[in-house]
Chains A and B, each alone.
Chain A
Amino acid sequence: MLKITNNQTIELDKIKKLDYDKFYSSVVELLNKKENHCVNYFAYPIKDEFQFFIAIADDKNHDIVILSHQLNQDDKKELKSLTEKIFSLHIFEREIYENYGIKFIGHPWLKPVRYPSNRANKTNINDYPFYTIKSNELHEVGVGPIHAGIIEPGHFRFICNGENVLHLEIQLGWQHRGIEQLFLEKKNHLQRNILAENIAGDTVIGHTTAFAQTLESLANFNVSEQLHLERALALELERIAIHTGDIGALCVDAAYHLGANVFGILRTAIINFIQAWCGNRFGKSLIRLGGSNFPFTKELRNELFEVLKSYEKKFEEMARITYRLTSIQNRFELIGTITEKQARIIGTVGLSARMANVLRDVRETHPNIAFQKYPVNPVVLKTGDVMARFVAKKREIRKSISWIRDLLNNFKFKENIEKPNYSLKLKPQHFSISLCEGWRGEICHCAITDKDGALTYYKVKDPSLHNWKVLELSLRNVEISDFPINNKSYNLSYCGNDL
């Protein structure tokens, strides 16, 4: 079995093409182990043939297993579904079916994922096959795709018995922009870099880091340790900012406006620092291929110390009030509970997994250079309800702050850093994979080059792709009025899912 580590590139020829039965049994065997989970599974089209790649992360041995099989031109476009045995692959099989029309026999529900324009099946989004239950006692409530707030479009369909939700179906795809296709169409690395920034507006640093790592590894281009650390620093700042915003947003949904305002103000302090660093509050233009335009100077270092000091003081004060407020506890506890078993079956990643006692954190299990040098120990909670997510966000913020302090105190940042390099030459016929722990969870980018060294396939996976199912499940037998706080507690990405 071919094992590689995170951010490693290998020749395409080295990946052995198994026949499907062998592929099937190996995948089932691997994924039945607790420490393994699938990080990406996709079909790479070569004319009329398809090469399937599956990347399975082994959290114990800190490596990634790559398996592959090929569907030849004359083969029937039908395969036995892996979802029957390993449920967490359901979304990947649906995606492959949607894009290339390859049927998976035995898949419980092969419905489309996002309705891209180049999909195999040309039916309209209006003909979406929704799940229905026929009964006089039940009623359906449809929410979206146009929302009352400022969030992105997505359609939620509840089947309710009175106030209780029996089933929630989430239909996404409204934000589809064809990102993966655009990566291939844009030949300039700078354009691709900017494209990566725009995969999901709230995970700019996460996605751009994964992108930069993928292409740098594909070009065999080594960047300095300081650059890695600066990227990790930005990643942690993003985590602090978004988690703080989420805590505030959860307070809004619980109608606790005092907390909402204070946490909103605190979030601004952090994103304003990111703006002072790179000119954009969300960190756009901060992370560039092969270098950086914005070195982390001494002044920035001092300013960050100040910002964190005042942030931490206010945050702890407000957190003490908010987390001890009985009405908040009353509102959040025992709602939307996900058991560890459920989380494992779905293949949840990131914070949504860690709050249900499943340790999945790329920073710990597949660290890049930055996190090898300055390790984090992840927050893991047991209860799996809204309160657990609420608490997990607070604890992760604390961990990130102490990680940043540790870094700032122990690493001597040099004033100059290498400039970005957009003329990286990619190695021909190679496959590269990069994992990065964004604030939402594990981000996975995969790239394949052809014999001239041009990108022929680029695959992006946002953690939301795994995690939307968790939201559906946590709504089972929960009151419909608890949907907003559940949704906000996960804060999943619509555009990251839709690409």
Chain B
Amino acid sequence: MISVFLIIISSVFFVGIISKVKAKIAARKMPSIIQPFYDIIRLFKKGAVYSSTTSFIFKIAPLVYFSTVLMATLFMPIGSQNSILSFDGDFLFFAYLLALGKFLMIIAAMDTGSGFEGMGANREALYSILIEPAFFILIGSLALFTDITSFQSLFVNLQDSTNISYFIGIFYIYVFVNIAMVENSRMPIDDPKTHLELTMIHEVMVLDYSGFDLGLINIASWLKFSIYGALISNFLINQSFVWYWQIIEFIGIQITFAVLVGILESFTARNKMGKNPQWIIILSAISIVIFLTGLIITQKIILN
């Protein structure tokens, strides 16, 4: 129960921290850290406008997207705090829950019939396909080390075999930070601040949403960030500590993650769109290296 609560709380501040860091680096006046929260309240007060060319898919997509992401948080443990739901193979369920939400957003974007949104949907679909192997290979290799296939016990058992976890930790964190960037359409794949429809990916897909629906979509993307932050922190939190130390560790890691995202976004330009697939495939390649290393260490394949 605490874990879900923590993820939701940290998600509120996540985007605020990123924009605060970016503003600080760019020597601009900083918005309040809970400005995104105010924006959501404003959006919730507004009515929604629907284009007459859209069908029911357009209307249900934000709800499905939001609820799938919310449901995915239920599978996420934090340190030794149990997740609410857990079963064998739940990481598959987790990944496809997120994919289901994304699928609906993509077809909802196609539903509007706008030239821009079709383009955005096309890009989002391509990058989702490319990023999927990285996620599965990585979690799969963790499962290989521990022989366990649910998030809950995966991380607990991983901590016991310390040497391996230190070894793959660096790669794991690198890949997961970048998966989070791709999944949330942040730099260098996409620029959430751009006003140019032709270069957008996620933003252009939600161009036709307004009011309550847009609010839901925004909350869902914060939650997603927070979930990935939790995935990373699970790897780092020392489970032999008492529970409140673990919570402090979690918060610290979330803040570090947000600051890191802010710094990454400030000091780089975004990729050329055509180079994005290459960049994403590199993540999968790193995961495969981890996987093969895992096979060798666990002596599933033996090198002569």
Contact = CB atoms under 8 A, between A and B. Distances in A.
B198 A331 contact: no
Contacts of A253: 194, 196, 199
Contact of B269 (A149, A254, A261, A482): A254
B25 A255 contact: no
A319 to B, nearest CB: 15
Most B Cβ at <10 Å: residue of A142, A258, A325, A335: A258
A50 B141 CA distance: 81
A444 to B, nearest CB: 32
Give chain B's interface residue range (CB within 8 Å of chain A).
20 to 34
Interface in A234-267: 251, 253-258, 260-262, 265
Contacts of A140: 115
Nearest to B274: A479
Contacts of A254: 269-270
B279 to A, nearest CB: 10
Given A141-B119, A148-B196, A251 B26 contact: no
Interface stretch (B57-65, B73-81, B185-193, B292-300): B185-193
Interface in B95-117: 115-116
Interface string A460-497: 00000000000000000001111110000000000000
Contacts of B196: 148-149, 253, 484
Q: Which of A141, A163, A255, A330 has the most CB of B within 10 A?
A: A255
B198 A480 contact: yes
B195 to A, nearest CB: 5
Contacts of B268: 256, 325, 327
B56 interface: no
B125 to A, nearest CB: 13
A2 interface: no
Interface in A161-190: 162-163
Given A148-B195, A480-B198, A481-B198, A330 B271 contact: yes
Nearest to B188: A327
A395 interface: no
Query: Which of B187, B188, B269 lies at the interface centre, i.e. has the most chain A CB atoms within 10 A of its CB?
Result: B269
Nearest to A485: B199
B45 interface: no
A479 B273 CA distance: 8
A328 interface: yes
A268 B17 CA distance: 29
A258 B26 contact: yes
A178 to B, nearest CB: 31
Given A327-B268, A331-B270, A257 B115 contact: no
Contacts of B272: 330-331, 335, 479, 481-482
Contacts of A330: 269, 271-272, 275
Contact of A256 (B118, B119, B269): B269
A143 interface: yes
Given A330-B275, A479-B273, A482-B272, A258 B266 contact: yes
A373 B196 CA distance: 44
Nearest to B27: A261
B267 interface: yes
A139 interface: yes
A254 B270 CA distance: 6
A328 B198 contact: no
A330 B272 CA distance: 7
Nearest to B272: A331
Interface of B: 22, 25-28, 115-116, 118-119, 122, 187-188, 191, 193-199, 265-275
Q: Which 10 A-B pairs have the closest CB atoms?
A: A255-B191, A254-B269, A481-B273, A327-B269, A255-B270, A256-B269, A484-B196, A141-B115, A261-B26, A327-B268
Given A143-B197, A251-B269, A260-B26, 8 more contacts: A148-B195, A149-B196, A257-B26, A258-B26, A258-B266, A261-B26, A325-B269, A330-B271
26 contacts: A139-B115, A141-B116, A141-B198, A143-B197, A148-B196, A148-B197, A162-B122, A163-B273, A253-B196, A255-B187, A255-B193, A255-B265, A255-B269, A255-B270, A257-B26, A258-B25, A258-B267, A261-B26, A261-B28, A265-B27, A325-B267, A325-B269, A331-B272, A480-B119, A481-B273, A484-B196
